[in-house]
Amino acid sequence: MTQSDRQEGALTGKTAIVTGGASGIGRAAVERFAREGAYVICADLDATAAQALAARLVADGLAVEATETDVTDESSVTAMASMALKVTGRIDTVLVNAGIMVEGDVLSVSLAAWTRVMNVNATGSFLTARAVMPHLIDTSGTLVFTASTVGLSGMKGVAAYSASKGAVVALTRQLAADYADRGVRVNAIAPGAVRTALSESQFRARARDDTHFNELLAQVIGRYPIARWGQPEEIAEVMLFLASDRSSWMTGQIIPVDGGLLELR
Ligand SMILES: NC(=O)c1ccc[n+]([C@@H]2O[C@H](COP(=O)([O-])OP(=O)(O)OC[C@H]3O[C@@H](n4cnc5c(N)ncnc54)[C@H](O)[C@@H]3O)[C@@H](O)[C@H]2O)c1
């Protein structure tokens, strides 16, 4: 199947970049965006996983290319944007999604861990936005950040992560204010608990053993009005909405996709 054989999708003819695209929520978004007709650049620190995903989706007739990118490195992020421009000549939407989590409150988190999380989640978001913004102005494009419910409400024991996602929330609103008059819309998703490598490692770090791990997972889900884990595809669906023209009068919004956690608990 070629690009022209496919039905028109919400992103047909568009070029999308997804950072942290090789795993979890980003991986679901890469596939969803590609199935909606986008040419997708899957940018990730884990080049092997990014290439494996791209190969699987290309074999399925989709347009996906992998690139090794470290969002904390300005030259790497610039190279990611250049690659997209070289391949398709445009950048229409960028999902700023790469993120890491470390455990700890302010007394227990090390400065090194704090700095690592802020570098990836907050500074990485800034560097990505800076590298792609001139090209999004050219296409009247969209930026979608992956924030977190934790960046809106706080959660026990994740001080660095929470602060970094608070920065993402503020950056989303700031960029929306700065670039609305140049045609760029900027929004964010605030996911609740989604079962991925990131959430798995968070609870593994807290758990004494397998039984305790399962107890912790059950405790988390017990707080959710829709009492189950979110699926990466359920987050990607809303990302698609915000990335595409379907959300054409929305900017500066932080949209919780969280099984009702923030509003109803
Ligand atoms: N899983 C959840 O419950 C949850 C909830 C709220 C928000 N989020 C956010 O969603 C985003 C995706 O998380 P996920 O749960 O899919 O995690 P994940 O660990 O499955 O995927 C994260 C991806 O980011 C990549 N990455 C890490 N550091 C990078 C760097 N410096 N440069 C480029 N890529 C890098 C990893 O290699 C990985 O492929 C993150 O921003 C996370 O904070 C996740």
Closest of 120, 87, 82, 96 to residue 14, by C-alpha: 87
Of residues 143, 137, 17, 33, the one with CA closest to residue 81 = 17
What torsion, rounded to 10 degrees, do the Cα atoms 237, 101, 20, 172 define? 60
Choose which residue among 196, 216, 261 to substitute to test ligand 1 binding: the one with the highest number of ligand atoms within 8 A of its C-beta: 196
- Domain boundary assignment for the chain: 12-192+233-258
Exposed, middle or buried, 80 (CB in 10 Å: 0-12/13-18/19+)?
A: buried
DSSP H stretches of helix in 12-123: 24-35, 47-59, 74-88, 111-117
Indicate the Cα dihedral angle 40, 235, 128, 27, nearest 10°: -40
Q: Can you tell me which residue has the tokens 């199935």?
A: 35
CA atoms within 13 A on the CB side of 247: 25
Closest atom of ligand 1 to 70 CA is: 32
Atom 2, ligand 1: which residue's CA is nearest?
A: 194
Alpha carbon of 104 to ligand 1 centroid (Å)? 18
Decide if 161 is catalytic.
Answer: yes
Contact 91, 84 (CB under 8 A): yes
Which atom of ligand 1 sits closest to the CA of residue 50?
A: 39
Pick the CATH number of 12-192+233-258 from 3.30.565.40, 3.40.50.720, 3.20.20.140, 3.90.1150.200: 3.40.50.720
Tens of pLDDT, residue by residue over 225-247, are: 999 999 999 999 999 999 999 99
Judged against a pLDDT cut of 70, whether residue 37 lies above it is answered with yes
**99 DSSP 8-state letter:** -
Which position among 39, 161, 179, 224 bears the catalytic label?
161
Residues within 6 Å of ligand 1 by CB: 19-20, 22-26, 44-46, 69-72, 97-100, 120, 124, 146, 148, 191, 193-194, 196-199
199-211 pLDDT tens trace: 888 888 889 999 9
* Amino acid type, 181: D
Where is 189: in which H helix or E strand? strand 185-191
Please check whether residue 15 is in contact with residue 90, taking contact to mean a CB–CB distance below 8 angstroms.
Answer: yes
Judge if pTM exceeds 0.95.
Answer: yes
Tens digit of pLDDT for each residue in 72-131?
999 999 999 999 999 999 999 999 999 999 999 999 999 999 999 999 999 999 999 999
